[in-house]
Copies of this chain bind each other. A is one copy, B any other.
Amino acid sequence: MSISSRFAVGIHILALIELNKEGVTSSEFLASSVNTNPAVIRKLMGMLKKSGLIEVHPGIAGAKLAKELSDITLFDVYKAVNVVQEKELFSIHESPHPDCLVGRNIQNTIEPLFAAAQLAMEKVLRNVTLEDVVKDIATKENIC
């Protein structure tokens, strides 16, 4: 199964806040670009806010980035929107039989292997910033 698109949408939201920084980036505006419901966006904005990535205020239209673009990595977004918990990218079956040689050891044997795989994936996310994302979009549009 796939990791929730909340992650991709979170990146979309942050990139659009940056590229629309002269304007007002409301949940309705974002929802239109993402093609979803404003309430879905507001829920994600809440998560991004809680993680200190954006600034939003009740009653005041628009969101602003709370950090420099180059200070926000994809990993920050990934953690903010809560798509994968630590050591839980792979699920391991519970209660294997303790009387069996394999059953009583499989969890402890597999866990560090799965953790290493997850960390390798997350390391890639740590090495990409939103600045990279925004620059790539600009390049595709021949803006720069």
Contact = CB atoms under 8 A, between A and B. Distances in A.
Most buried by B among A34, A105, A117: A117
Interface in A117-142: 117-118, 120-125, 128, 133, 136-137, 140-141
A3 B115 CA distance: 13
Interface string A95-117: 11100111101101110011011
B137 A91 contact: no
Contacts of A108: 140
A43 to B, nearest CB: 14
Most buried by B among A84, A94, A121, A122: A121
A57 interface: no
Contacts of A33: 96-97, 100, 102-103
Most buried by B among A35, A84, A88: A35
Interface string A1-28: 1111101110110011001000000000
27 contacts: A2-B91, A3-B91, A4-B91, A7-B90, A8-B110, A9-B93, A12-B96, A16-B100, A19-B102, A33-B100, A34-B96, A35-B97, A35-B103, A74-B113, A102-B137, A105-B136, A108-B140, A109-B133, A109-B137, A113-B133, A116-B124, A117-B121, A117-B122, A117-B125, A118-B121, A120-B120, A121-B121
